[in-house]
Structure 1
């Protein structure tokens, strides 16, 4: 996994007014934890953090530059404002490049399932898997090919193509995605709508 540079500045703790001012000025407050070292509070520019997450994903590995001192860390959590969806807080965890750590890796569905042509509906059951691996080897995401799925069939965690050296901790029989088959009232109502549209079209001719 690429180490992404992220510049940080010290910030004042314990003062809500100062934190709100930092946010208003375009900064995101954060905290650096781990390795049995003292917690360090900091702030980063919102735009810089957005670029890091866009490139490295929700588990981005960053080289945090704070007052000339560089620390390798992984994004552990970030919180968003429920209304604006802007990131309002960042948690980083110190790591070593060759250290085995646990992380949530996002799943990205790829392809158009065959079952959609038979009236099926693609449903994603989980959005990420819990894994353990060397920090430098963690993928930013895992692609899940669903193009071969017919109606009523799904793909499970045990079916995923996992990079070498990564151990999946999510149960292997956990469903990832399924092409569900419509039954009963829902399917009947859709068929009725199609028939009505066809009848109206014929009447207008």
Structure 2
């Protein structure tokens, strides 16, 4: 079920008006789609942040724009002030619930791998996977249990359970989790000390 979010029409694009919108706790935004003309709107900043935090980036939002019919949208993009850490702008894309779309879904590793208990190091090369699905079938995240991984073991996309609701688009051989062996004590001892002075070769011969 889509999460509801109210929006106001935004016709004045002056900087002073945009600033006032942000000061009132709202964020300027635009909503657009294949069969919909782009429209400038404003939504409650905290409500949008809470929706994404609680439901995930790919959640379906029923956007209720004043004087218009609600439309199903997804958050396509957003901008954040790096200094104030405030939401500056958001883009919403109107989705067709009957058509598949390509999205990035968070990847989460679960459990404590046996290999890490033996001193190995768990590496996760990717934190998102490319998925194709209808909007209503997009998973909130992809979870993988790594408890049985030993040192030298790995998991590739091909090892993931196949679902009828969605398909993975990345190369099936792509490694998404692996346990690498730790550096041995011998390797550490043999590594040159950066503070050691370089060895001089035959000072007498050099002098001659």
The offset of 1:89, in angstroms, is 1.7
Partner of 1:23: 22
- Point out where structure 2 has 5 or more consecutive residues left out of the alignment: 190-208
Q: Secondary structure of 2:84's partner? A: coil
Partner of 1:173: 173
- Classify 1:48/1:158 alpha carbon distance in 2 versus 1 (closer, same or farther; 3 Å): same
The offset of 1:169, in angstroms, is 0.9
- Classify 1:120/1:169 alpha carbon distance in 2 versus 1 (closer, same or farther; 3 Å): same
The offset of 1:20, in angstroms, is 2.4
Alignment deviations for residues 111-148 of structure 1 (CA, whole Å, 9 cap, x no partner)? 11111111112221111111111111111111111111
Partner of 1:128: 128
The offset of 1:156, in angstroms, is 1.4
Flag the structure with higher helix content.
1
Where do 1:71-82 residues align within 5 Å? 71-82=71-82
- Classify 1:107/1:26 alpha carbon distance in 2 versus 1 (closer, same or farther; 3 Å): same
Alignment deviations for residues 48-88 of structure 1 (CA, whole Å, 9 cap, x no partner)? 10121123211111000001420111121222222333322
Q: Normalising to structure 1: TM-score of the pair?
A: 0.83
Partner of 1:183: 183
Q: Is the 8 A contact 1:13 1:41 kept in 2?
A: no
Alignment deviations for residues 28-66 of structure 1 (CA, whole Å, 9 cap, x no partner)? 221111123210111111111012112321111100000
- Classify 1:122/1:136 alpha carbon distance in 2 versus 1 (closer, same or farther; 3 Å): same
Partner of 1:154: 154
The root-mean-square deviation of aligned C-alpha atoms, in Å, is: 2.1
The offset of 1:12, in angstroms, is 3.8
Worse-matched range after superposition: 82-91 or 131-140: 82-91
Partner of 1:56: 55
Q: Secondary structure of 1:22's partner? A: helix
Q: Is the 8 A contact 1:107 1:141 kept in 2?
A: yes
- Point out where structure 1 has 5 or more consecutive residues left out of the alignment: 190-205
The offset of 1:17, in angstroms, is 2.6
Q: Secondary structure of 2:37's partner? A: coil
Partner of 1:44: 43
